[in-house]
Amino acid sequence: MLLIFPPIAKPCEPPAGVALLSAALKEHGLPCEVVDANVEGIVHLIRSDVKLTDPWSRRALKNREAILAELKGQALYTHMDRYHQRVYDLNHMLAISVDQKRFKISLSDYSDNVLSSVRSTDLLKSAARYKENPFYGFFEAGLRERVENSSSNYVGLSICYLNQALVGFALAGWIRDNFKDKKIILGGGLISSWMSRPDYTHPFDGLVDVCIRGEGEQPLLELLGQGKGTKKHYVPDYDFVKKDLYLAPGLVLPFRASIGCYWSKCRFCPEKAETRPYSSQRASQVLSDLKALEDRYRPSHVHLIDNAVTPAFLKALSHEQFSFKWYGFVRFEKDFLDPEFCRNLKRSGCDMLKLGLESGDQGVLDQMNKGTDLGMVSKILENLHGAGILTFVYLLFGTSFEDRAAAHKTLDFVKAHEAYIDYLNLAVFNLPKFSEDAKGLETWDFYHGDLSLYLNFTHPLGWDRKQVKQFIQKIFKKQVGVGKNPAFFSSNHAVFFNRPKEEA
């Protein structure tokens, strides 16, 4: 089987989903080839011929190979200003490689002024008009031979992010038009979210042969005649990873220890609205899988991509020492109140933890069902900092539980803990379309389209979206001195700037 991961996602690490699918297929004796068309397609556009009309473009073109090389080396990640100059130059090369009047493309984003990613009719138009897509040249130069040479009748497309939707459907249309014998299977996180909608109507049946919701290992095996009763977890197969292709200093491999969220009570969370079940293996089994990954690929970093790494697995990690560094998303759990536990995590290779604080107002946290105590948060941030672990803290403004006063409490909390926070992610709340909270609010579409997953709403406390954005830009950012996030790559590159704060 041929599995393809389309553009655009951050081109700094390989996709995890197709690696698991490949492992499942190969373990059952089924041939599988994986193509990360995302990173290959992005590099193809960066290296394409462009019209140079200004000094910035000429400078970026002159340096593009050097920039690509620098992003794969360690030295650039000791100078944040130089890093940003190089990344912005590279991003400019990508942006000017397409028709800028129609397409907006970056190292982490993709949009089309004509077609919408959340309208099924537009996605089908993208498939029909695949020659208009900026990646059409890459389809022909980088994918045609691999599709032709694939011995399988099936081509699977993994669409995980909204940024991939229009390109992914253009790719599906290209395959359908050029390879009549191939059957197209569509899956990935975004497809699963769409299929979780109670009003989903299977609008792509004329283009796609099979759509898979959720984890695809078992459905694929059954489709290919392996039947039921096969095992449920696999060690990811990253044999498809090409050396020195990804824009990161070393090989970074994503690894998932659990599916869903073990807490699963936060009222604002989109996955709660999708009622996605939580599941995980025993910590000892997951640790064995992680060691197998270490022995086979010798990564420099492992990115734990769980919604939140479980306390049980964190404890297992704290007793190990790996040849790689690692980072991932965690909740503010009581285990972090022990400074020795934090130091053990650091010794195991933990360089950074991403933590969802959301609010610095205890009342807001309680209404969210966040299960977080601000007194614990203070001590945990101090302990992680003391252990030398970077903290990337996520804040969420504009929920229906927050007002201006609560937002100011968040500001005060962050200012009081700046010494222990290395990076901040500031987000404005999007209301999940089918959440329980949406039923009690006056709402309207956030994006116009039958596949939109979010709603705008009239804020019950008068704290509307415009006010929230103004607060973040004009008040919060001007008063908080936390370090600047790496452009486009955010937390995926922040982990590489791991050095004492006084040197930053």
Tell me the per-residue pLDDT of 355-413, one tens digit each, with 9 for 90 and over.
999 999 999 999 999 999 999 999 999 999 999 999 999 999 999 999 999 999 999 99
Both structure tokens of 275: 């009622």
Render 141-187 in DSSP notation, one character per residue.
Answer: IIIHHHHHH--SSEEEEE--SHHHHHHHHHHHHHHHHH-TTPEEEEE
Q: For the chain, percent helix, then strand, then coil, each to nearest 5?
A: 45, 15, 40
Query: How many other CB atoms sit within 10 Å of the CB of residue 492?
Result: 21
Average pLDDT, the chain: 93
Indicate the pLDDT class of residue 304, thresholds 50, 70 and 90.
very high
Both structure tokens of 3: 């599995």
- Assess whether pLDDT exceeds 70 at residue 230: no
Q: What is the pLDDT of residue 51?
A: 79
Percent of all residues in the chain with a pLDDT value above 70, rounded to a whole number: 96
Both structure tokens of 465: 């979206």
Q: What is the pLDDT of residue 101?
A: 95
The full set of domain ranges for the chain reads 2-48+97-223, 253-503
Report the C-alpha gap between 454 and 432 in whole angstroms.
5
Report the C-alpha gap between 291 and 289 in whole angstroms.
5
Question: Who contacts 141 (Cβ-Cβ below 8 Å, separation ≥6)?
Answer: 44
Q: What is the pLDDT of residue 504?
A: 37
Q: What is the pLDDT of residue 301?
A: 97
Question: Who contacts 159 (Cβ-Cβ below 8 Å, separation ≥6)?
Answer: 6, 165, 168, 186, 187, 188, 189, 190, 191
- Assess whether pLDDT exceeds 80 at residue 268: no
Q: What's this model's pTM, rounded to 2 decimal places? A: 0.94
Locate all alpha helices (DSSP H) within 319-425, ordered by sequence.
Answer: 339-348, 362-368, 374-387, 404-416
Decide which of 86 and 268 is more confident. Answer: 86
Q: What is the pLDDT of residue 273?
A: 53
Indicate the pLDDT class of residue 275, thresholds 50, 70 and 90.
low
What is the CB-side half-sphere exposure of residue 247 using CA atoms within 13 A? 29
Number of H helices, E strands in the chain: 20, 18
17: enclosing H helix or E strand: helix 16-27
Both structure tokens of 283: 């910590």
Torsion angle of C-alpha atoms 349, 324, 294, 70, degrees rounded to 10? 150
Question: What 8-state DSSP symbol labels residue 2?
Answer: E
In 3D, which of 165, 34, 167 has the Cα closest to residue 447?
A: 165
The Cα-based distances of 287 to 96, 105, 263, 280 in angstroms read: 44, 38, 21, 12
Decide which of 242 and 125 is more confident. Answer: 125
252: enclosing H helix or E strand: strand 252-255
* 75-104 residue pLDDT tens: 999 999 999 999 999 999 999 999 999 999
| Correct CATH for 253-503 of 3.30.565.10, 3.30.420.40, 3.20.20.70, 3.80.30.20 | 3.80.30.20
Positive or negative: CA dihedral 385, 387, 388, 393: negative
Query: How many other CB atoms sit within 10 Å of the CB of residue 144?
Result: 15
- Assess whether pLDDT exceeds 80 at residue 115: yes
Report the C-alpha gap between 310 and 262 in whole angstroms.
7
First to last CA, the chain: 47
Both structure tokens of 500: 């004492």
Q: Going along 419-489, which residue ranges are E strands?
A: 423-428, 431-432, 443-445, 454-457
- Assess whether pLDDT exceeds 70 at residue 272: no
Poorest-pLDDT segment among 157-161, 231-235, 279-283: 279-283
Indicate the pLDDT class of residue 503, thresholds 50, 70 and 90.
very low
Pair 149, 182: CB distance under 8 Å: no
